[in-house]
Amino acid sequence: MKLIGMLDSPYVRRVAICLQLQGISYEHLPLSVFRNMDAIREINPVIKVPTLVLDDGQVLMDSTLILHYLSLLRADTPVPALADSVRALRLTGLALAAYEKAVQIVYERKLRPLDKQHAPWLERVGMQLHAAWTALEHECAQLPLPGETGSIDQAGVTIAVGWSFAQLETPDIVKPADYRCVHAYTRSAETLPAFLATPPV
């Protein structure tokens, strides 16, 4: 395993300490999201730390999701269940990153006057937002439509809620034509009773 990120980040350090406590060997790559942005992008296109690269090459992000994965290892979860959990954690991490980046754009646009908005920051956050949705687009192409199956898991809820938020707040940046599978998945999810009972506005 490889842990990506600087230990001055409380999120990265939290994961590093838990890896130590569990006696899990790992390689630490102390890369900065600012000074080493390109190097991190090669590992995780969303440029988010902590990033944990699993032995099979899968990438997890978000300290809480990584710690959940580590708890599954400690519990000796059977391999098929572990694989399903890793996929769900990965999808949830990507969707949460998309939320975070969309919210950063909303804050920049709504809280700063136009002449004070920092274009390089908006460009960077927009790139990260697109990286998350691009990865989710590939995944959603393989997921059954929730409206047809009548069921959805936590990762699916997280994807659909994030896409609906993006369409409300950043439709000029994240367009359905660019993410057709995510859009179709979300439209289908929004027909489920739990979604209909909790409209976003």
Give the strand pairing for 51-53 and 59-61. Answer: antiparallel
Q: How far is CA 150 from CA 34, 174, 192, in A?
A: 43, 27, 7
The predicted structure's pLDDT at residue 76: 80
Q: Taking the chain (201 residues) in consecutive chunks of 10 residues, what is each chunk's mean pLDDT?
A: 94 92 93 96 96 96 94 84 91 95 94 93 97 97 91 92 95 97 96 91 73
The predicted structure's pLDDT at residue 137: 98
Task: Name 61's bridge partners.
Answer: 51
Distance (Å, rounded) from C-alpha 26 to C-alpha 3?
7
The answer to whether residues 122 and 105 touch, using CB atoms and an 8 Å cutoff, is: yes
Long-range (24+ apart) CB contacts under 8 A made by 7-13 are 9/49, 9/50, 11/49, 11/50, 11/63, 12/49, 12/50, 12/63
Enter the pTM of the model.
0.85
Going along the chain from its start, the domains and CATH numbers come out as 2-74 (3.40.30.10), 86-196 (1.20.1050.10)
Distance (Å, rounded) from C-alpha 11 to C-alpha 31?
14
Neighbours of 192 (CB within 10 A): 18
